[in-house]
A and B are shown apart, each in its own frame.
Chain A
Amino acid sequence: DAGITQSPRYKITETGRQVTLMCHQTWSHSYMFWYRQDLGHGLRLIYYSAAADITDKGEVPDGYVVSRSKTENFPLTLESATRSQTSVYFCASSDREWDGYTFGSGTRLTVV
């Protein structure tokens, strides 16, 4: 599944700083997603995109910004990081509805 890559794999940042997590897929999948994974909460949807220039909020969008100017890229920005945003972030893509996701390897973000 090298077709979807996330960077960086690990990131430590300070409270209040802006940080951007990158997600790139090589399949030209239409749909892309950002989830955060926390113990006791499973996977929670932050934002998703059905196509370039189309994005929508998920369950926990506050404090996050996304953009999708190109089909293959879907960066996630934390505008002013808080400790509660310490988490593992997964990007995923899907070619069409009812097709299941392919997840990236994840980014472990620590906000200190």
Chain B
Amino acid sequence: GENVEQHPSTLSVQEGDSAVIKCTYSDSASNYFPWYKQELGKRPQLIIDIRSNVGEKKDQRIAVTLNKTAKHFSLHITETQPEDSAVYFCAASAKGYALNFGKGTSLLVTP
């Protein structure tokens, strides 16, 4: 089955800096790549997603890039703010549902 690797497991940045989280996937048939943010004690929430026919997608300070050849995709957060502190999960799927998640990245943004 699909295997999604996520790095780093923890990331600390200063407010205003950029943060990048990277994921690789094993199933070349995967065609849907969402990212979720989970604040402490809360449910995961979708923040951005990309399909395999698109190389990059941006939403305000958040962007996702996809390299199908290398089978990796990344989340980029610019101008980080303390409220960006959370655990971020990448996921992949060949069906568009039944997501396989990475193990998460704990992002800490310090003022």
| A92→B83 CA distance, assembly (Å) | 24
Given contacts A42-B89, A43-B44, A90-B44, contact A100 B34 (CB under 8 A): yes
Number of A-B contacts (CB under 8 A): 60
Q: Would A98 and B103 count as touching, CB distance under 8 A?
A: no
Q: Would B44 and A31 count as touching, CB distance under 8 A?
A: no
Tell me the minimal C-beta distance from A36 to chain B in angstroms. Answer: 11
| A56→B98 CA distance, assembly (Å) | 10
The reply to whether the CB of B111 lies closer than 8 angstroms to some CB of chain A is: no
Seen from chain B, the residues whose Cβ lies within 8 Å of a Cβ on chain A are 1, 6, 31-32, 34, 36, 43-46, 49, 51, 89, 91, 95-104
List, in ascending order, chain B residues with CB within 8 A of A50's CB: 97
Q: Specify which of B1, B89, B91, B104 is in contact with A59 (CB 8 Å cutoff).
A: B1
Tell me the minimal C-beta distance from B86 to chain A in angstroms. Answer: 14
List, in ascending order, chain A residues with CB within 8 A of B32's CB: 97-98
List, in ascending order, chain B residues with CB within 8 A of A102's CB: 46
* Apart from the given pairs A35-B101, A97-B95, 14 other A-B contacts in the complex at a CB distance below 8 Å: A33-B98, A41-B103, A42-B89, A43-B44, A44-B101, A45-B100, A58-B98, A59-B100, A90-B43, A98-B49, A101-B44, A102-B46, A105-B43, A106-B43
